[in-house]
Structure 1
Amino acid sequence: MFIYIAAPLTLLLFFLAKKLYSIKPSSLLNPVLVTIFSLILLLVIFQIPYADYQKGTSIITMLLEPAIVALAVPLYLQLKLIRAKLKMIVLSCLLSVFVAFSCAFWVMPLLGADSIISASFAGQSVTTPIAMEISANLNGIVSLTAAMVIFAGIIGGSIGLPFLRLCKVRNPQAVGVAIGCASHALGTAKILEENEESGAFSSIALILCAILSALIMPVLYHWLIE
């Protein structure tokens, strides 16, 4: 029975969370975060198998891909400006990939993480499907990677802009690239609400980071373990 109401319930909770956020904007009341915790609470209280929920929300999962493609609209509108700054965007994305790899495989081991945990965290700043493929290629835990990707997106969408303002980063292009490199689609969706130019630069950074991560990280990983 729950399979048939899982999708409508998820949408209802999300729209209620958005309404709550519009009344009281707060990083702790991020709509995605509130929806996730509400669903976890419901599944635990009523002892509903996650497999049932997953089947019931398969239609929402299917719509994720065209939703990501929709981010290309602001990118197209700002194409001339992006083309002029493309070299700097690519360099920024390359740096982001190397920083992510370094944190995963050089910093995290210093904190006690083993190679499997490190591999699971390496792709957390790129969009979920690609991050999961990267994790699988690096022998990581795919489910942990998926959870960390969502967490990174929520953090970026919640406190990314305030943090950048605190650091005196005000250029809309720089803000967009920073959010796109660190917080993928969730961060990009949030920044689009604030500034269309930032949203376009975030979209291209999201795409480039995903491509570069998929190409570079497995090569770096195999070089590291040899």
Structure 2
Amino acid sequence: MFVYIATPITLLLFFLAKKLYSLKPSGLLNPVLLTILSLILTLLLLDIPFAEYQQGTSVITAFLEPAIVALAVPLYLQLKVIRSRLKFILTSCLLAVFVAFTCAFYIMPLLGADLITAASFAGQSVTTPIAMEISSNLNGIVSLTAAMVIFAGIIGASIGLPFLRLCKVKDQQAIGVAIGCASHALGTAKILEDNEEAGAFSSIALIVCAILSALIMPILYQWLIV
């Protein structure tokens, strides 16, 4: 029965969370975070299997791909500016990939993580499908990777912009690249609400980071374990 009302309930919870956020903007009241927590609580209280919920929200899942493609619109509008800053974008994204790899495989082991856990965290800053594929190639735990990707996106969307402002980063292009490299589509969608130029740079950064991560991380991993 729940399978037929899963989509309406999900949309209702999301729009309620959006309304709450509009009344009191706060990182802790991020609409995505509130919706996820509300859905977890609903499934637990009603003892509903996740597989049933997933089946009921297949329509929402189907719209994720065109939603991601829609992020290309501000990118196209800022194409001339992006071309002039392409070297800056590529350098930043390449650095982001190496930082992510270093944190996963050199810093996390110092905190007690094994190789499988580290591999699961390596792609957390790129979009979910690519991060899961990277995790699979590195023998990581794909489900853990998916959870961490969502977590990274929520953190970036919630506190990314306030944190950059606290660090006195004012250039919209730099803000966009930082958000795109660190918190993929969720961060990009959020920053797009604030500034179109930053959103365009965030869009291209998340794309470049995803491509570079998919190409470079398996090579670095093989070099690491040899």
Instruction: Pick the TM interval, shorter chain.
Output: over 0.9
Q: Provide Cα deviations, 1:49-100, integer angstroms capped at 9, x if missing partner.
A: 0000000011111111110000000000000000000011000000000000
| Structure 1 residues without counterparts, runs of 5 or longer | none
Using the TM superposition, give the Cα deviation of residue 131 of structure 1 relative to its aligned residue in structure 2, in angstroms. 0.3
Q: What TM-score, normalized to structure 1?
A: 1.00
Question: Runs of at least 4 residues of structure 1 off by over 2 A?
Answer: none
In the alignment, the residues of structure 1 paired with residue 50 and residue 152 of structure 2 have an alpha-carbon distance, to the nearest angstrom, of 22
Q: Tell me which amino acid in the other structure corresponds to 2:34.
A: V
- Alignment RMSD: 0.4
Partner of 1:146: 146
Using the TM superposition, give the Cα deviation of residue 134 of structure 1 relative to its aligned residue in structure 2, in angstroms. 0.3
Partner of 2:70: 70
Partner of 2:126: 126
Partner of 1:109: 109
| Structure 2 residues without counterparts, runs of 5 or longer | none
Partner of 1:80: 80
Alignment of 1:209-220 (within 5 A): 209-220=209-220
Alignment of 1:11-26 (within 5 A): 11-26=11-26
Q: Tell me which amino acid in the other structure corresponds to 2:179.
A: I
In the alignment, the residues of structure 2 paired with residue 129 and residue 65 of structure 1 have an alpha-carbon distance, to the nearest angstrom, of 11
Q: Tell me which amino acid in the other structure corresponds to 2:83.
A: R
In the alignment, the residues of structure 2 paired with residue 140 and residue 216 of structure 1 have an alpha-carbon distance, to the nearest angstrom, of 16
In the alignment, the residues of structure 2 paired with residue 101 and residue 167 of structure 1 have an alpha-carbon distance, to the nearest angstrom, of 24
In the alignment, the residues of structure 1 paired with residue 151 and residue 160 of structure 2 have an alpha-carbon distance, to the nearest angstrom, of 13
Aligned residues: 226
User: What percentage of residue pairs aligned between the two structures are identical?
Assistant: 81
- 2:21 matched to 1:5? no
Partner of 1:180: 180
- 2:126 matched to 1:161? no
In the alignment, the residues of structure 1 paired with residue 113 and residue 58 of structure 2 have an alpha-carbon distance, to the nearest angstrom, of 34
In the alignment, the residues of structure 2 paired with residue 10 and residue 115 of structure 1 have an alpha-carbon distance, to the nearest angstrom, of 36
Q: Tell me which amino acid in the other structure corresponds to 1:174.
A: A
Using the TM superposition, give the Cα deviation of residue 34 of structure 1 relative to its aligned residue in structure 2, in angstroms. 0.1
